[in-house]
Homo-oligomer: A and B are copies of this chain.
């Protein structure tokens, strides 16, 4: 867990929050506002809870497989990934964590991690003690519901990944992940019209969709050739949103439980 002091050079939250003043203002709150019961009261509670912020450098582990959960994090800027190393040493990325995401969402104080969380870019997080986080959930039913809502959204994403990995071709799998990332980033204001910072390597994409780096490369080339996307200097642009969604069989509804 290497902590660093400089500020992030990758994804930054929009100006308002870029100051990294302690408190989990912008991306998380923007996300939770999608949940109808979330109110000002909850917001205040959150800001008290996530009272310290810190930064992690690229490739550092925020949480390791097997760790006891002692802190809960909100990602303020940058990208992380849940991952698991399997027996033969290869890595599966289980999900991407984007600004506004909370992890690990273990309701019950302690508990061992069954996977790790790594920083894919330098990133900024706010943290709360797991115990005070849980106390807050017990005291404030609405807050608890808001986080349950977030957990359900998370589960929806996981189910979509199972479907993606189980049924779709390499080409469609990559397309689907791109659609998901775009939709999720849009929810926190980090994608404009299908255009967003895309700070991951092809190896990381490959680990997420269950294929080799070489193949991920060829698939991305094909997506570009087919005029569906464009990637320039770590910035991805969706050129044909309808085409990409149809190809990926993507429907964003699952990202927004009621």
List the interface of chain A (C-beta within 8 A of B).
35-37, 82, 84, 86-88, 90-92, 94-95, 105-112, 114-115, 138, 141, 144-145, 148-149, 151-152, 154-156, 158-163, 165-168, 207-210, 249, 253-254, 257-258
Q: Which residues of B contact A37 (CB under 8 A)?
A: 108
Give the chain B neighbours of A86 by CB distance below 8 A.
163, 167-168, 249
> A108: nearest residue on chain B (CB-CB)?
B258
A77 CB, nearest partner CB in chain B, Å: 25
Contacts of A82 in B (CB 8 A): 159
Q: Provide the bound-state CA to CA distance between A35 and B35, in Å.
A: 28
Cα(A87)–Cα(B207), bound, Å: 24
Q: How far is the CA of A162 from the CA of B95 in the complex (A)?
A: 9
State A109–B112 Cα separation when bound (angstroms): 31
Do the beta carbons of B163 and A84 come within 8 Å of each other? yes
Complex Cα gap A83–B210 (Å): 20
For A144, the chain B residues whose CB sits under 8 A away are 141, 144, 148
Assuming the A-B contacts A37-B108, A114-B254, A257-B108, are A165 and B168 also in contact, with contact meaning beta carbons closer than 8 angstroms in the complex? no
Q: Which of A107, A162, A207 has the most CB of B within 10 A?
A: A162
Chain B residues, CB < 8 A from A91: 167
Residues of B close to A92: CB separation below 8 A: 162-163, 166-167
Which single residue of chain B is at the shortest CB-CB distance from A142? B138
A101 to chain B, nearest CB (A): 14
Q: Chain B's nearest CB lies how many Å from the CB of A238?
A: 19
A84 close to B159 (CB less than 8 A): yes
